[in-house]
Structure 1
Amino acid sequence: MGEIFIVGGGVVGLCAGVRLAEAGASVTLVDKAPDAPSGSAPCTFGTPQAPSWGNAGHIAVEQTAPLASGAMIRSAPKRLFSLGGALGLPLNAISAWAPFAARLVRAATPARFATGHNALKGLLADALPAWKDMATTIEAPNLVRDEGHIVVWESPESAARGYAAWMGEDIGTATLDHLDAKSLMDAQALVRGGVTLADGIRFSHTGQITDLARLQASLRAHFERLGGTIITGTATLARNDNRAQVRLDSGETLKPETILVTAGVGAGRIMEALGHRVPIIAERGYHIRASAEDWPADMPPLVFEDRSMIVTRYTDCVQAASFVEFGRPDTPADPTKWERLERHIAALGLPFGKRLQRWIGARPTLPDYLPAIGRSSLADNLVYAFGHQHLGLTLAPVTAGLVTDIISGASPRLDLAPLAVERFGFRKETA
């Protein structure tokens, strides 16, 4: 496969780097420098602002329905942060989210939703086996847990609504059932604030990454063992006729045989420089972590659906995650969202301790809630894989296999036409 240059060192880029290096390619990856871990923090998130290393750790094979849907649009008003919900539409970012929202509405027609649903379901079908295989490859099989996750509700009414909603969903290869009495008691034992859990469900055949910082380190180490090279910095692309080339922030220009863009929310700027139209947005999530001494090590991810909050136990810490805030990746964080998350933790009486670490990360989201995976029609040597929204961690090894097929000339196992970035058109000067 020759020389390959990967722009972006998140979980998608690193998984792709491992698979391409395994296939015999000479692979170089450029990544921003990770910040040094804070000695005062109860645990480390990895690179700040990078959702690959600060997410909920959930391998979400059940989320086969794109969020660009009529149901989501109809429910959006009651989900607004100002009304107590998890949807943030900050006024200082209206120029970013208003055009995105208009495109999302256009992407939510029944026909486009059906196409997206089929594409997403196909991607997710092998996600958990692909993660198990990747964990074995990088010699860290215990990074993946296959013990499902739990959803709980705080009232009989919300439990009835939630159960009916999930029973009506296509959850792909996952299965669900009512939470057994012991598991409900185990979850209740963590809720020490006087709140009674009314009911719950348990998903099977979903999974979890047990340690995101170790995942990052293990992927990087194995990539380098295979002969891959990681350089620190940023890169931009330029097009010369039908070929792309890389310009590093050092001033060096490279002309590799193949360029793979896996730069998350930054991929929009990179791809648009070549002439593609990429209406990507930063869909920001707010998380809080604390030491995990009082949280059972065997508790799977626990979703408090009434509060739109997921709590995950990692190897050395416990994390609460929530909120969907549309804006720009560099907009200052809204502390009221962390404060509400902390109030949820306090109201439930969850054993988080007093030393809390706050974090915000920007999910790379396209209006139809499908990733962009394919080969560019504007540059023969350019392949891309970005825009995985909430499913970047889940789909990283699957995506790595697909881009390896694309670059090697093999036929991908899925029809990638619905995922082509050309579905959004081209910049005017290129059209």
Structure 2
Amino acid sequence: MEKNLKIGIVGAGIQGISNALFLQKKGFSVTIFDRDEPGSPVASYGNAGHFSPYASVPINRPDVLTDVPAMLLSTTGPLALKWNYVPKMIPWFLQFIRNCTTKRMLHTAKNMHQILDLALPAYDELFDEIELGGLVEKKGILYIWNDQSLKSRELEIKVRNELGVDQQIVTPKEIHDLEPNIRPIYHGGVYYQYGRHARNPKKILLKLYDLFLKKGGKFLKMNIKDINFNDEKPVIKAETQSFLFDKIVIACGSFSKKLTDNLDEKIPLDTERGYHVHFKDCDHLLSRPVIFQNRGFGITPMEQGLRVVGTVEFGGLDNPLSKSRVKNLINNAKYMMGDLPEHEDEWLGFRPTLPDYLPVIGPSKKYKNVFYCFGHHHLGWTLGPISGKIISGMIAEENTNLDLKPYSSLRFS
């Protein structure tokens, strides 16, 4: 493989920048395109900030189907629909339901575990080259729950045990010792002591972006409309200009579908809309991220305050922010923490999600010089560097001992 290949990447979030840095390590020259500046308020900016290598048990599982109707009816629940979007989502939901068997769940869990296991070492390769300055804390991540839907919790614990995930079951007293400021709403939990969290995901992303520029990378702020081909070489088309590359990577999260549809590949990518709010100057109340599983939300102590994140809303890319979802987060935060000041920063972002809850990492179906890296749902932040490392190895035509077939887009054709 010749070294001086020119690679174009569409997307400047954690996926795009991670791909770029690992491609630079292999000696390629890289240009990133995005319609926004890196660190703008999209998913890599607004996520929960978890580095969660244990999170292999997917949402597609048998017990979820019985839980969904109750979740949708509950005002405190993690799930919501924008009814105007439901007709568009029906094909996705049907595929999702097909993926909720025990066999498919275990397939997803095994193949998520394979890359999650490598996620933190891949981050450390990038972190070795920047000054992190306290932006990553290694204090573990705590999940708590009450006695409702315990079967679901037991299932998660069992599957993770079988995969060899290191997890510590904790009692109410141990939870209180770890996080004394949480109201006693819990009966049990799990503590993942090797979990980490970001004190400010945007600042980390920008440090990685600066490293990319320092290593000779180029960034062009442009809205990419289409991919064409000149012979077999891909051409990235913006509104008024076109750019020829040897190979390209599509890594623009939920917006990737517009490009893959144009490449005549029908990948059932949709979006889970996620929200956050901040409670400023309250980050001293928690030492680590805490997730309350019954209500499907979490709180992470960050520089901006306590960041309350959660809810899954199916509503596409065009619907406005739902005030009821924001209110839901505020109420949940107060349920967990008691009295809190006025909230700030209402944010909505899009998690790119495929119905089998595995990402797409690998070459396109029809074009050998086009690679995909999207669909990481709730784990985009955790899986950025390992996904970029995998793609860089594919582009450099290196051998790997990983089984990469499960992440191929061919599974949908």
- The superposition leaves residues 336-385 of structure 1 with CA deviations (integer Å, 9 ceiling, x where unpaired) of 11112112223344464224221011100011111001112311211111
Are residues 1:221 and 2:210 paired?
yes
Change over 3 Å in CA distance of 1:129–1:147 after alignment to 2: farther
Task: Give the aligned partner of residue 47 of structure 1.
Answer: 40
1:33 counterpart = 2:26: no
Q: How far has the Cα of 1:393 moved from its partner?
A: 0.5
**Aligned equivalents of 2:343, 2:79: Cα separation in 1:** 27
Q: Distance in 1 between matches of 2:298 and 2:84?
A: 27
Distance change in 2, residues 1:81/1:255 (3 Å): farther
- CA–CA distance in structure 2, aligned partners of residues 234 and 244 of structure 1: 17
Measured in 1, the distance between the counterparts of 2:85 and 2:150 equals 36
Task: Give the TM-score taking structure 1 as reference length.
Answer: 0.88
Give the structure 2 partner of residue 18 of structure 1: 21
Is the counterpart of residue 177 in structure 1 residue 169 in structure 2?
Answer: yes
**What secondary structure does 1:189 align onto?**
coil
- Cα distance in 2, alignment partners of residues 366 and 241 from structure 1: 31
Q: Which moved more, 1:119-128 or 1:6-15?
A: 119-128
Instruction: Supply the distance in 1 between the matched residues of 2:187 and 2:104 (Cα, whole angstroms).
Output: 37
Matched, 1:208 2:197: yes
Relative distance call for 1:385 and 1:329 in structure 2 (3 A) is same
- For the 8 Å contact 2:362–2:372, the answer to whether it is kept is yes
**Is the 1:53–1:213 Cα contact (8 Å) retained in structure 2?**
yes
CA distance in 1 between counterparts of 2:61 and 2:199 reads 31
More displaced stretch, 406-415 vs 106-115:
106-115
C-alpha deviation, 1:199, in angstroms = 3.8
2:227: which partner in 1? Answer: 237
Matches within 5 A, 1:258-273: 258-273=247-262
Match of 1:97 among 89, 97, 107: 89
The alpha-carbon deviation at position 145 of structure 1 amounts to 2.6
Aligned to 1:340: 328
| 2:272 counterpart residue number | 283
Distance 1:361-1:380 versus aligned 2 partners, 3 A rule: same
**Residues 7-406 of structure 1 aligned to structure 2 (within 5 Å):** 7-34=10-37, 46-48=39-41, 50-82=42-74, 84-140=76-132, 142-153=134-145, 155=146, 157-158=147-148, 164-170=154-160, 172=163, 173-179=165-171, 181=173, 183-185=175-177, 187-191=179-183, 196-235=185-224, 236-239=226-229, 242-249=232-239, 251-293=240-282, 295-296=284-285, 299-350=287-338, 352-406=340-394
Q: 1:287 to 1:55 in 2, by over 3 A?
A: same
Q: What's the secondary structure of 1:244's corresponding residue?
A: strand
Question: CA offsets per residue over residues 74-116 of structure 1, 9 Å max, x none?
Answer: 3222221546421112211112221110111223344433332
Provide the rounded CA distance (Å) in 1 between the counterparts of 2:171 and 2:49: 21
Alpha-carbon distance between aligned partners in 2 of 1:390 and 1:111, rounded to the nearest angstrom: 21
Over 3 Å counting, the alpha-carbon distance change for 1:252 and 1:196 in structure 2 is closer
Structure 1 residue 18 displacement after superposition: 1.0
RMSD: 2.3
Mark the CA change 1:213 to 1:351 in structure 2 (over 3 Å): closer, same or farther.
farther
For residues 255 and 343 of structure 1, the distance between their equivalents in structure 2, rounded to whole angstroms, comes to: 51
Structure 1 stretch displaced more, 127-136 or 406-415: 127-136
Q: Gaps (5+ residues) in structure 1?
A: 36-45, 426-431
Distance 1:5 1:12, change over 3 A: same
What is the alpha-carbon distance in structure 2 between the residues aligned to residue 253 and residue 160 of structure 1? 55
Q: Could you tell me the TM-score, scaled by structure 2's length?
A: 0.91
Distance change in 2, residues 1:101/1:291 (3 Å): same
Give the Cα separation in 1 of the matches to 2:371 and 2:385.
16
Amino acid aligned to 2:200: D
Secondary structure in 2 matching 1:168: helix
| Compared CA separation, residues 167 and 118, structure 1 to 2 (3 A) | closer
Task: Quote the Cα distance in structure 2 between the aligned partners of 1:306 and 1:129.
Answer: 31
- Structure 2 distance, partners of 1:350, 1:233, is 45
Q: Unaligned stretches of 5+ in structure 2? A: none
- Letter paired with 1:3: K
